[in-house]
Each structure stands twice: as C-alpha cells, then as structure tokens.
Amino acid sequence: QELVFATNNKHKTEEVGKLLLNEYTVLNLSDIGCNVDIPETGDTFEENATLKSSYVVENYQLDCFADDSGLEIEALNNEPGIYSARYSGVKDDEINLKLVLQKMEGQSNRKARFKTVISLIQGKKNHLFEGVINGYIRESPIGDQGFGYDPIFVPEGYEQSFAQMDMAQKNKISHRAIAMHKLIAFLKEQQPA
Ligand code: ITT
C-alpha cells in the first residue's frame, strides 16, 4: 500500500521509510510530482504539519501525512523550535547548528528536546501524533550520521549523540519514531479485521 509523505527532506523520508518497511511504500513530494517548498506560516508544529498535509490533499486529492519537527532548548526559551530549519535565516543545517552552539556558549543549562508532530489527513479528517525525546546539547558537534542538529544532541540516558548512532538505533528512540509508532498504530486500527 502506498502512503504519501509531504516532505522534501530526504533524511526524514529515509527514517520514516525504514519504520514503515513491509507495511507501506512511502512516496515523498517529488515522487508525486510536487516540487514546491510548502510555506510553513503557522505558529506551532501542529499548524505547520497540517499546512503541509493539507497542501497535498487540496492540490493532489491524495490522503497524506506530514512531519513538522524541531529542537527546543530550555535556556533559549525553547528556540529554535518551529524555526529549526531556518534559525539563522537560511536553510542550511551546518550554519544553523553553529548558531545554536554560539548562543549556548557559557550556558550551563544544556537541557533540550526534539519534538515531532505528524498530521495525517484521511477522508478530510486531521489526526495529530506527537513524539518528544529529552536530552542535552553538547559543547561541540560529534558524529557524521543523521542530519540537522543530530551532532549536538545527546538523548537522555545515552552517551552518544544522535549523529553517532546508526539509523536503526536512532529509530528505536527518536521523537520521529515515537510519533510514527502512534501513526502506525492508528493506521492498523483503521484496517478491517
Ligand atoms: P519538510 O518540511 O519538507 O518535511 P524540513 O527539513 O523543512 O522538511 P521541518 O520544517 O520540520 O523540516 O524542519 C525541521 C528542522 O529541524 C530540520 O531542518 C532539522 O534542522 C531539524 N530536525 C528535525 N528533525 C531532526 C532530527 O531527527 N535530527 C536532527 N535535526 C532535526
């Protein structure tokens, strides 16, 4: 069965694809011929996830889900939050990560969390699923796997950053995996016995 995932982010597609393996084939925006960077003008993860899923429903008449996520850092009043993808003003993971480290210089409270909200639109109804993982921000980046802020985020109870984990390991604990498991459970409930 095919499932449309309204994203342009290849890393998200890969992580989500692995979680849905054997159950669904994931099609991202380019797979359905959509080459638009859907505007994220909302004030919350919920609103932005819904803007992305609704865009596909309205323009392609396909049921679809979308993921809006970000890093919330306690000492920065939960920034970058919904601005995670463009914290510095540009959509460049490396520059945005550097800006976070700069703002966190000398800061002793390193607590942070990653959050994902998934919006699934099925039959015109919007269903929201959330995933959160707590952790802390390192003083310097480490690791070369994953994407975004992974090299500076260490999940609670672990020594390694997300970027030092392979995808299978990150997928066991991540914010995105937690939200996806809720989505998968919901989809299973929908299927006739
Ligand atoms: P789409 O909107 O096309 O899905 P995007 O990259 O713009 O892709 P978001 O608007 O949700 O996605 O922005 C989330 C940003 O937060 C993303 O660009 C990363 O910098 C960061 N981020 C999200 N999930 C992450 C993860 O699992 N690991 C590291 N950084 C993450």
Q: Is the pLDDT of residue 22 over 90?
A: no
Per-residue pLDDT tens digits for 73-99: 999 999 999 999 999 999 999 999 999
Q: Out of 69, 86, 113, give the residue to mutate to test ligand 1, the one with the largest number of ligand atoms within 8 Å of its CB.
A: 69
The answer to whether 68 is annotated as binding is: yes
Q: Is the peptide bond before 80 cis (omega within 30 degrees of 0)?
A: yes
Cα 175 to Cα 7, 90, 118, 184, distances in angstroms: 17, 24, 11, 14
What is the ipTM for the molecules in this complex?
A: 0.98
**Residue type at position 5:** F
Whole-number pLDDT of residue 190: 86
Q: Is the pLDDT of residue 150 over 70?
A: yes
The mean of the pLDDT values for the chain is 96
Give pTM, 2 decimals.
Answer: 0.97
Q: Give the pLDDT band of residue 192 (cuts 50, 70, 90).
A: confident
Per-residue pLDDT tens digits for 159-182: 999 999 999 999 999 999 999 999
Q: Are 56 and 35 in contact (CB under 8 A)?
A: no
| Complete DSSP assignment for 120-184 | EEETTEEEEEEEEEEEEE-SS---SSS-TTGGGEEETT-SS-GGGS-HHHHHHH-HHHHHHHHHH
Q: Out of 12, 13, 154, give the residue to mutate to test ligand 1, the one with the largest number of ligand atoms within 8 Å of its CB.
A: 12
Q: Is the pLDDT of residue 193 over 90?
A: no
Q: CA 169, CA 172: separation in Å to the nearest integer?
A: 5
* Catalytic, out of 31, 63, 68, 144: 68
- Does domain 2-190 bear CATH number 3.80.10.10? no
Break the chain into its structural domains and give their ranges: 2-190
- Atom 8, ligand 1: residue with shortest CA distance: 9
Neighbours of 139 (CB within 10 A): 11
